[in-house]
Copies of this chain bind each other. A is one copy, B any other.
């Protein structure tokens, strides 16, 4: 079981791919795979071995941001009732998604394929903690799971920029309202 040493150039390439992707992701944010490889100065094959799908690449680019969102859930739960904490946390996530388009879409586990490893796990767990607290309070519907919420957030983050600016906040309010229990 000796830890296989990864070659230094391989590590280096991976880092450069992630950095290049981050730099290419800005406003309207298309992200052609070929463009990433070129900007990173690697062959397309290298890109694909490191990141078999665009989602895998995006998940890595946004890992730090996502970790921060995940860890912001616990403090909210300490200071507020669960319904409020949930509402605020989702609002934060939506704000974040508005500037960094495609984050949630990358995290949302696309039907067939394996739940994209740790990132999806932890963000799913954060949502579950919020939902569970709300269910214990009786303020969140018992039949809602983190999967539902992630899917709905994924929808919002796929809206194009203009539409999101106008409507995302209001739609999130409707979604939250649907997740909360009738009183």
Establish whether residues A179 and B174, one from each chain, have CB atoms under 8 Å apart when the complex forms. yes
| Interfacial chain B residues near A177, Cβ < 8 Å | 141, 177-178, 182
Q: Is A30 close to B, CB under 8 A?
A: no
Q: Is the CB of A152 within 8 A of B174?
A: yes
In the complex the two chains form, what is the Cα distance from A147 to B166 in whole Å? 11
Encode A146-183 as 1/0 by CB contact (under 8 A) with B: 01100110010011101100110011001111110011
Query: Once bound together, how far apart are the Cα atoms of A159 and B179, in whole Å?
Result: 20
> Which single member of B147, B166, B178 contacts A167 (CB below 8 Å)?
B147
Contacting residue for A155 out of B144, B147, B155, CB 8 A:
B155
Min distance, Cβ A160 to any Cβ of chain B, angstroms = 5
Nearest opposing residue in chain B for A145, CB measure: B170
Nearest B residue to A160 by beta-carbon distance? B111
Question: Which partner residue on chain B sits nearest A154 by CB separation?
Answer: B155
**Cα of A133 to Cα of B179 in the assembled complex, Å:** 24
